[in-house]
């Protein structure tokens, strides 16, 4: 076996894996009930599926002697932006109260909430007035 045949098998395997993950992500997007669970399908599974398809394109481009810079840039952009967009969509759902809220903190009332203690409010107000004088 030479490297071209091995690369062809690797491309075929990546295409099958990418297509399967993309299909599973699409089915999950349609089947899940609420928006927070529906968010997991395209961001987690879909990213792996598209990544496998881009990896197949990179292997194929490398075997025919062309550069793989475009595919690598697309993959980097996808892997950076997908978690950020998922985080923003989850925050919107939480702030709109479209989903079940997490349980309240047990011992600390200001951890992971928007409550600020009075002492910190006073401190920020005095710091804000001193900055305005400068």
Q: What share of the chain is helix, strand, coil (3-state, %, to 5)?
A: 75, 0, 25
- Judge whether 88 lies within some domain: yes
Express each pLDDT in 24-83 by its tens digit.
888 888 888 877 777 777 777 878 888 899 999 999 988 888 877 888 898 889 888 888
pLDDT bin (cut points 50, 70, 90) of residue 115 is low
Q: Is residue 91 part of a domain?
A: yes
Domain of residue 16: give its range: 3-103
Half-sphere exposure of 43 (CA within 13 A, CB side): 17
Higher pLDDT, 111 or 92: 92
The answer to the question of residue 111 being in a domain is no
Alpha carbon distance 21, 26 (integer Å): 9
How far, in Å, CA of 112 to CA of 41, rounded?
26
Number of domains composing the chain:
1
pLDDT band at 3 (very low <50, low <70, confident <90, very high): confident
Does some domain include residue 128? no
Q: Is the CA virtual torsion 101, 107, 112, 115 positive or negative?
A: positive
* Assigned domain for 26 exists: yes
Asked if residue 110 is part of any domain, the answer here is no
Q: What predicted TM-score, i.e. pTM, was given to this entire model?
A: 0.65
In a domain, 122, yes or no: no
Report yes or no on 53 lying in a domain: yes
């Amino acid at each position: 076996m030479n490297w071209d045949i091995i690369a062809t098998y690797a491309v075929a395997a990546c295409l099958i894996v990418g297509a399967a993950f993309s299909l599973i992500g699409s089915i999950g997007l349609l089947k899940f009930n609420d928006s927070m669970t529906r968010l997991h399908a395209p961001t987690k599974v879909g990213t792996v599926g598209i990544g496998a398809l881009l990896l197949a394109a990179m292997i194929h481009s490398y075997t025919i002697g062309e550069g793989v810079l475009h595919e690598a840039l697309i993959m980097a952009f996808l892997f950076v932006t997908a978690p950020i967009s998922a985080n923003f969509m989850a925050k919107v759902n939480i702030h709109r109260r479209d989903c079940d809220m997490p349980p309240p903190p047990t011992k600390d009332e200001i951890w992971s909430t928007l409550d600020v203690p009075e002492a910190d409010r006073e401190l920020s107000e005095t710091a804000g007035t001193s900055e305005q004088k400068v």
